[in-house]
């Protein structure tokens, strides 16, 4: 790899690492939903923490950054236009469905509603959609980004998106997510630091 593109490669590695972090959280979320089938109540507060993170990090930073990368990829490879359009639409849908789950979980945690159907079916649909979305990005977009985007592209993209440390996996360690981080550690799940 040319030295001039090392920074671009680092961005692809970071991109992939963030996906693995999201996979960890979706797996935990799914494990809580699976408790329903054993007649047990899930940890709604943990589920709310996960969805709060999803709507305040991926939706606010990861996906907007991707949308900018997608636009640059599409300008350089017209064959990528349909896939980036589809993925950007999925960002919109994930944000909408994620916000709805936060509202439902918040209502449950605060005792306003109690019924399982408010979270089980939408939760499973969200998990499936998010996983499929990342699978498409990993298979179809990250390889294109690795060849089509250079150091200058990433500098422009990062100037446009306000930098923010990952509040769960980064170094800032937001107290709001202390219980979630303990759960990740207790389950022996790998956390991948995001610089
Ligand atoms: Fe995405
Ligand atoms: Fe992504």
State the ligand closest to the CA atom of 22.
2
Using one digit for the tens of pLDDT, what is the confidence trace for 34-83? Answer: 998 888 889 999 999 999 999 999 999 999 999 999 999 999 999 999 99
Q: Cα(192) to centroid of ligand 1, in Å?
A: 18
pTM: 0.91
Q: Cα(61) to centroid of ligand 1, in Å?
A: 10
Once rounded to an integer, what is the mean pLDDT over residues 87-100? 98
What does the pLDDT read at residue 9?
Answer: 67
Record the tokens describing residue 130, joined without a space.
């998010």
Once rounded to an integer, what is the mean pLDDT over residues 77-101? 97
Higher pLDDT, 116 or 153: 153
The percent of residues in the chain predicted with pLDDT above 90, rounded, is 76
Record the tokens describing residue 97, joined without a space.
């469905």
Task: Tell me how far CA of residue 58 lies from CA of 65, 75, 89, in angstroms.
Answer: 9, 24, 15
Confidence of residue 162 (pLDDT cuts 50, 70, 90): confident
State the ligand closest to the CA atom of 86.
1
Q: Cα(77) to centroid of ligand 1, in Å?
A: 18
CA 45 and chain centroid, separation: 19
CA–CA distance, 127 with 83 (Å, rounded to integer): 20
Q: Cα(66) to centroid of ligand 2, in Å?
A: 7
Higher pLDDT, 37 or 115: 37
Record the tokens describing residue 9, joined without a space.
């490669």
Checking phi first, is residue 42 left (phi over 0); if not, alpha (psi -120 to 50) or beta?
beta
């Amino acid at each position: 790899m040319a030295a001039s593109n090392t920074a671009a490669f680092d961005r692809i590695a970071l991109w992939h690492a963030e996906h693995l972090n999201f996979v960890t959280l979706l797996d935990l979320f799914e494990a809580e939903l699976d408790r329903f089938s054993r007649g047990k109540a899930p940890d709604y507060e943990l589920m709310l923490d996960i969805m709060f993170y999803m709507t305040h990090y991926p939706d606010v930073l990861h996906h907007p950054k991707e949308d900018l990368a997608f636009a640059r990829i599409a300008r350089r490879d017209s064959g990528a236009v349909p896939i980036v359009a589809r993925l950007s639409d999925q960002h919109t849908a994930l944000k909408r469905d994620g916000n709805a789950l936060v509202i439902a979980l918040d209502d449950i945690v605060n005792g306003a509603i109690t019924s399982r159907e408010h979270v089980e079916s939408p939760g499973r649909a969200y998990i499936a959609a998010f996983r499929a979305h990342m699978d498409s990005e990993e298979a179809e977009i990250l390889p294109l980004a690795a060849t089509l985007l250079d150091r200058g592209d990433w500098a422009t993209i990062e100037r446009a998106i306000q930098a923010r440390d990952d509040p769960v996996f980064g170094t800032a360690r937001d107290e709001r997510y202390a219980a979630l981080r303990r759960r990740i550690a207790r389950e022996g799940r790998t956390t991948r630091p995001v610089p």
